[in-house]
Amino acid sequence: MADSRTRGFRCTGGTALAAALLCCATGTAVADGTPSPLPSAGAGTAPALRLPVVPARLDLTRASCTKPSGTVTTEVPWAQQNLELTRAHQLTRGAGVTVAVVDTGVSAAASGLSGRVTGLGAGATQDCVGHGTFVAGIIAAASRTGSGFSGVAPAARILAVRGTGTDGTPDEARVAAGIRAATDAGAGVVDVSQSFPSGTAALNSALEYAARHDVLVVAAGVPDTLTATSTDSGDQRPTVAYWPATRPGVLSVVDLDIDGARPDGAVDPARADLAAPGQGITGIGPSGKGSYLANGPSVAAAFVAGAAALVRAYHPDLTAAEVRTRLVAGAYPGEVPRLNPYGALSAVLPTAEPSASTAASHAIRLTPVTEDPAPARRAYTVLAASGTAAAVLTATALLARRRRDRTTTPDA
């Protein structure tokens, strides 16, 4: 299998379930740069499908903008099936919530997003690279006739924010400014695809600003292109800290493949709050109606951002921190909890922390054995006092009885 982080996912192996779910379109889905059907392998054999991979960055000296795909997958992709989005959509589709996508921009004309994209800043609704549009589609694309793809929150609105240069090069200053601008523009959720090895004062300040204004920030735990090097040894995965995901309060997300495992060579962030599908993911592109593939933690973060939009729509009284708690608490148990949108929506969670008096009354405490004689002396004092009190009460009762006996006249 080719490196899934650079070329996409090939349906040429894996489990039978993986093949059935991933290769859901007619024929076999293969990711490369040729957006057209391949010829049939023979009579009676369905043609394999080639889906172009949406890049995270372009070399504009060698390539033009991402070209349209000529292939449309007609069945529901494996990730949407895995997340059981049809169950979540019985409760809400995310209407009334705006999700800001800090990425390469979002094409306002993208299939499934038309009429629901607003841009912040010059060029935000144009996307030469296509990655931001793909991410926005995972979050909020509506279903279309002839396509099995739809986003997690298909009724939510998208706020396009440029967090990169025109070619997709991450720009920390742009990301910081974009988070602030999205907060001021009323976004309830901010999805950040970029990851940086350090957090500047401007970026940390922007994250604090979003938190103060009740905005939930969801971020890729590590860069999409980051993999363990050949010098890494042993079974222990390397652990690294990347911003903004590593900052407390931000939902840090890692990617899973179709078998529910981290991809080969994956690097773990210093903290991961949730895991979501992120390998061999089908979605939309910046132009045309064709399908594309993409991989990495940024794609997984998009699924979580979409789920956050569902929760904010269905539980509008919850704060950003409470939405974050609900997403994690409703997830499937695991080393890193696995996203479960329906669980996040429907889970019954405590509404408040117990008061100090209530907590104390229900607390179970074990008294440790101690060699200190002071507690024993105190106990004996209490017992002695109790005995004295009992003796006094007994004597008082006897005296009272004797008085009654002396004053009582015998019957005639």
List pLDDT tens digits, range 312-328.
Answer: 999 999 999 999 999 99
- Residue 5 contacts residue 225 (beta carbons within 8 Å): yes
Beta bridge partner(s), residue 50: 30
- Give the predicted TM-score (pTM) of the model: 0.76
User: Residue 173 and residue 194: Cα distance in Å, rounded?
Assistant: 12
- Residue 250 contacts residue 190 (beta carbons within 8 Å): no
121 or 46, higher pLDDT:
121
Structure-block tokens of residue 72: 């449309």
Q: Which pLDDT value is given to residue 407?
A: 47
Q: Which pLDDT value is given to residue 240?
A: 86
Q: Look at 27-36, 89-98, 239-248 and tell me which has the smallest mean pLDDT.
A: 27-36
- Residue 268 contacts residue 281 (beta carbons within 8 Å): no
User: Residue 329 and residue 334: Cα distance in Å, rounded?
Assistant: 12
Whose CA is closest to 108, among 98, 118, 99, 100?
118
Burial of 166 (0-12, 13-18, 19+ CB in 10 A): middle
| Residue 358 in this model has a pLDDT that exceeds 70 | no
Strand 281-284 and strand 291-294: pairing?
antiparallel
- What does the pLDDT average to over 294-311? 97
User: Residue 233 and residue 270: Cα distance in Å, rounded?
Assistant: 18
User: Residue 247 and residue 5: Cα distance in Å, rounded?
Assistant: 25
- Residue 80 contacts residue 138 (beta carbons within 8 Å): no
- Say what percent of the chain tops pLDDT 70: 70
Task: Assign 176 to helix, strand or coil.
Answer: helix
- Residue 134 contacts residue 284 (beta carbons within 8 Å): yes
- Residue 191 contacts residue 151 (beta carbons within 8 Å): no
Which residues have a catalytic role annotated?
103, 131, 298
Question: What is the per-residue DSSP string for 343-402?
Answer: HHHH----SSPPPHHHHHHH---PPPP---HHHHHHHHHHHHHHHHHHHHHHHHHHHHHH
Average pLDDT, rounded, for the chain: 79
**Helix runs in 8-126, H state only:** 16-22, 78-82, 85-89
- Say what percent of the chain tops pLDDT 90: 56
Q: Look at 16-20, 291-295, 340-344, 385-389 and tell me which has the smallest mean pLDDT.
A: 16-20
Whose CA is closest to 296, among 282, 281, 317, 274?
281
Digit-coded pLDDT (tens) for 199-230 = 899 999 999 999 999 999 999 999 998 877 54
Structure-block tokens of residue 262: 């981290």
| Residue 197 in this model has a pLDDT that exceeds 60 | yes
Q: Which domains does the chain have, with CATH numbers?
A: 67-228+237-343 (3.40.50.200)
Q: Look at 22-26, 109-113, 220-224 and tell me which has the smallest mean pLDDT.
A: 22-26
User: Residue 296 and residue 279: Cα distance in Å, rounded?
Assistant: 6
User: Residue 283 and residue 136: Cα distance in Å, rounded?
Assistant: 9
Structure-block tokens of residue 379: 């106990």
385 or 345, higher pLDDT:
345
Q: Which pLDDT value is given to residue 76?
A: 93
Write down the residue that tokens 């800043």 correspond to: 121
Structure-block tokens of residue 398: 């006897």
- 44 falls in which pLDDT band (50, 70, 90)? low
For 312, phi then psi, to 5°, come to -65, -30
- What does the pLDDT average to over 81-87? 96
Q: Which pLDDT value is given to residue 236?
A: 63
Digit-coded pLDDT (tens) for 159-168 = 999 999 989 9
261 or 412, higher pLDDT:
261
| Residue 82 in this model has a pLDDT that exceeds 90 | yes
User: Residue 227 and residue 278: Cα distance in Å, rounded?
Assistant: 14
- Give the sign of the dihedral formed by CA 238, CA 321, CA 119, CA 288: positive
- 369 falls in which pLDDT band (50, 70, 90)? very low
Structure-block tokens of residue 59: 């070399």
